[in-house]
Chains A and B, each alone.
Chain A
Amino acid sequence: MTTHAPVTTSAGRTGPVRAGRNGTGAVPKAKRKVEGIYYLFLLPSLILFTLSITLPAVIGIFFSFTNSIGFADWDFVGPINYIAAFSDPAILQSYLFTVGFAAVTVVVVNVVAFLLAVGLTSRIRLKTALRTIFVIPMVISGIVIAFVFNFLFSNSVPQLGQSTGVGWLSESILANPDLAWLAIVIVTAWQAIPGTLLIYIAGLLSIPGDVYEAADIDGAGKVAQLTKITLPLVAGYVVINVILGFKGYLNAYDIIVGLTNGGPGTATRSVAMTIVTGFTSGDYAYQMANATVFFIITVGIALLQLALTRGRNVL
């Protein structure tokens, strides 16, 4: 991504100018003295960040090699937590559910958001009003909207099913261990589509209009234009949306708590939900091992994202 960009632009530009300003312009390469106030600007962030992000990370990884229950005495136990965690059916199931749910959601969200973006950038009326409406779900609290959908899924939809005589609708899907995950996909998609949509709109708007005019003249149909012009030109945006989305859905927590609270049974318990049981069930060290593995997976996806987006000029 752009993390590597500043190296070239900034260093190239600020370096020489800077030296000139400090009155040592005669020797541009000379090491200038950094004004003290700059350290003062940077230090609060560095200190607070280290105390609230880095320190917990180090402590967490450290305790994952112990038998700590979150307080009281502890001993080193080596990598035993890691071995135990990955022969634990509950943890394996949470990974299976979370990855599967994230994969399905990514597909649903991207297909719907892309089609909506195509629609919202075509010659339709009420463009701004419609876009305003489509973005609203993004600003609503996940837990609150999950409670609203919880009511709809467990009361309104079954009622609708009973009155229309459609059998499979008349029971709450939240109570069905095989279908509850669908409800979570629906609500997550409902909330995640706006962000994805906005990125696709930006992508579609970056395609110059005359490309389509040329295609029109050459006699390309609308479908051919969509698959042969639009899709390849927004490929970079697809990559971004898929990876950012997948990374986000892996951390699913709020919406699941509001819809099923991990149930029925443990059918929809996500990795995040499993990890935070560590405190209440006295499995602190054990779940910290789980969290560490989860962290490594997240970093792996982030590196994949860097590898895929670096060097692409689309963005």
Chain B
Amino acid sequence: MSTQPALVVEQVAGTEILEGRTPKRAPSRFSMERVNWPGTILIALCSVTVLIPLYVTISMAFKTREQAVDGNAFSLPNPISVEGFVAAWQLTNFPLAFTITVLVTLATVAGTILLASVASFAIARNWDRKLFRWSFYYLLMAMFIPFPVLALPQIQLTGLTGLDNPVGVTLLHIMFQLSFSILLFTAFLRSIPLELEESARIDGASTWQTFWQLIFPLLAPMSATVGIFAFLASWNDFMMPSLIISDPSMQTLPVVQSIFQTQFSNNYNVSFASYLMAMAPAIIVYLFTQRWVMEGVTQGAIKG
């Protein structure tokens, strides 16, 4: 695992555009081209604090029950065993929890991109109309309302309307992503030259065709950012599903991990195998999309 990130980075490094420091490396700085080795070593040592919990998770997950129980987190698994994964798979009903989480996450990503992009298009192209301008500020409001504030009435309402299930969680996930996404989309839409759309219209395209065939593809980089944020927020969320979904057998992956706090609390190899299966998908997605993740954070902060 520890070598995995480095490999992927090397591949992406060529296309890395965040790295604006190339001028500093250029010979313009007298003969100060030398590499800062003490700095490199210091930073590398700091990165160990990130890697230790990940290393512990992986090594504990592959231990046998006997080895895991001795509590020494830092020893390597000997022998390597997958019994923890087998047990975790059954105890958490992994296939079902995984499917539910994947469906909730995918629906959140797709729903957020679609709803936010069409709404942003309508807002950006009708900015001169009060209704659209006010709708923009209205939809932005949720950025200032954290979930805990709305949790109680939302539990009450989803219960009353039969949405106390993964569908309700998906809807709420989309709604809490909407403000931020609309902010990013409208900012991006303003940078697309209107002439493009006009030529499409002269060719006889309707508004819907203009959006779907011309604008939506142009929005792709922003959709990637919006989508990744929706993915991370939805995949990793614990608070909302744990409060909204009333049937424990329909819970998402992060929520089912709590069973190891009460039952089976000494089967560390099982619990860590389960933690690993819950966090691995997000890490893998991140390694392949890190450019957009990193750009997204920066844009999100500057716009938001």
| Chain A residues within 8 Å of B, Cβ to Cβ | 1-3, 6-7, 9-11, 13-15, 17-18, 21, 34-35, 37-39, 41-42, 44-46, 48-49, 52-53, 55-57, 59-60, 63, 70-71, 116, 119-145, 147-152, 155-156, 159, 190, 194-195, 198-199, 201-202, 205, 209, 213, 240-241, 244, 247, 250-251, 253-254, 257-258, 271-272, 275-276, 278-279, 284, 287-288, 291-292, 294-295, 298-299, 302, 315
Name B154's contact: one of A17, A46, A56 (CB within 8 Å). A56
Kindly list chain B residues whose C-beta atoms are within 8 Å of the C-beta of A116: 43, 46
Please state if A45 and B115 are interface contacts (CB–CB under 8 Å): yes
* Complex Cα spacing A70 to B174, Å: 25
- Asked if A156 and B139 sit within 8 Å, CB to CB, the answer is no
Q: Which of A142, A148, A284, A291 interacts with B238 by CB under 8 Å? A: A142
Given contacts A6-B187, A13-B190, A198-B294, 10 further A-B contacts (CB under 8 A): A3-B137, A15-B127, A53-B142, A119-B46, A148-B53, A151-B56, A151-B272, A240-B302, A295-B145, A302-B144
Contact partner of B151 (CB less than 8 A), chosen from A134, A151, A275, is: A275
- Quick check: A148 and B275 within 8 Å, CB to CB? yes
A96 → B minimal CB distance (Å): 17
> Interface-forming stretch among B21-29, B76-84, B90-98?
B21-29
Bound together, the chains give a CA A13 to CA B124 distance in angstroms of: 11
- In the assembled complex, which residues on chain A have CB atoms less than 8 Å from the CB atom of B152? 60, 70, 275-276, 278-279, 284, 287-288, 291
B140 sits at the interface (CB 8 A):
yes
Nearest chain-A residue to B194 (Cβ)?
A17
A-B contact pairs, 27 of them (CB 8 A): A6-B136, A13-B194, A35-B207, A45-B116, A48-B174, A49-B178, A56-B150, A57-B150, A59-B153, A116-B46, A119-B39, A119-B42, A124-B36, A124-B40, A133-B5, A133-B47, A135-B290, A140-B282, A141-B235, A145-B53, A147-B260, A155-B71, A205-B20, A271-B148, A272-B146, A275-B151, A298-B149
Residue numbers in B under 8 Å from A202 (CB-CB): 18, 298, 301-302
CB distance from B174 to the nearest CB of A (A): 8
Q: Interface 1/0s, chain B 229-263, versus A by CB < 8 A?
A: 00010011111000100000000011101101100
Is A125 a contact of B40 with CB atoms below 8 Å?
yes
Beta-carbon contact of B238 and A34 below 8 Å: no
Q: Which residues of B contact A272 (CB under 8 A)?
A: 146, 148, 151, 239
Q: In this assembly, does B12 line the interface, its C-beta being within 8 Å of a C-beta of chain A?
A: yes
- Bound together, the chains give a CA A309 to CA B163 distance in angstroms of 39
Residue of B nearest to A278 (CB): B152
CA distance in complex: A87, B135 (Å): 39
Which 9 A-B pairs rank lowest in CB-CB distance, beginning with the nearest? A272-B148, A56-B153, A141-B236, A41-B122, A60-B153, A143-B238, A41-B118, A45-B119, A156-B73
Would you call B31 an interface residue if the criterion is a C-beta within 8 Å of the partner chain's C-beta atoms?
A: no
Please classify the interface of chain A as helix (H, G, I), strand (E, B), loop, or mixed, using the class held by over half of its residues: helix
Q: Give the total of B residues in contact with A, Cβ under 8 Å.
A: 130
Query: Which of A52, A135, A202, A258 neighbours the largest number of chain B CB atoms within 10 Å of its CB?
Result: A52
Report yes or no: A147 in contact with B128, Cβ–Cβ below 8 A: no
Binding site for A on B (CB under 8 A): 5-6, 8-10, 12-13, 16, 18-21, 23-25, 28-29, 33-37, 39-40, 42-44, 46-47, 49-51, 53-54, 56-57, 60, 71-74, 115-116, 118-119, 121-129, 132-133, 135-157, 171-172, 174-175, 178, 182-183, 186-187, 190, 194, 198, 201, 206-208, 211, 232, 235-239, 243, 253-255, 257-258, 260-261, 268, 271-272, 275, 278-279, 282-283, 285-287, 290, 293-294, 297-298, 301-304
Q: Are A136 and B44 in contact (CB under 8 A)?
A: no
Q: Is the CB of B51 within 8 A of A139?
A: no
- Check if A2 sits within 8 Å of B257, measured CB to CB: no
Docked CA distance A31–B210 (Å): 23
Contacts of A131 in B (CB 8 A): 294
A-B contact count (CB 8 A): 335
Nearest chain-B residue to A55 (Cβ)? B157
Cβ distance B298 to chain A, nearest Cβ, rounded Å: 4
Q: When A52-B154, A124-B39, A254-B238 are in contact, do A134 and B47 touch as well, CB less than 8 Å?
A: yes
Decide if B36 touches A122 in the complex (CB within 8 Å). Answer: yes
Which of A38, A155, A292 gathers the greatest number of chain B CB atoms within 10 Å? A38
Which residue of chain B is the closest to A283 with respect to CB atoms?
B152
Q: Please tell me if the beta carbons of A38 and B146 are within 8 angstroms of each other in the complex.
A: no
**Which B-chain residue is minimally distant from A292 (CB atoms)?**
B149
- B157 / chain A contacts, CB cutoff of 8 Å: 52, 55-56, 59
Given A132-B5, A147-B261, check contact A37 B137 (CB 8 Å).
no
Contact B123 A134 (CB under 8 A): no
Measured CA separation A278–B156 after assembly (Å): 11
What residue of chain A has the Cβ atom nearest to residue B20's Cβ? A205
A288 touches B153 (CB 8 A): yes
B119–A41 contact, CB under 8 A?
yes
Q: Are B304 and A1 in contact (CB under 8 A)?
A: yes
Residue of B nearest to A120 (CB): B43
Shortest distance between the CB of B145 and any CB in chain A (Å): 7
B154 — which chain A residues lie within 8 A by C-beta? 52, 56
Contacts of B237 in A (CB 8 A): 141
Residue pair B122, A38 in contact (C-beta under 8 Å): yes
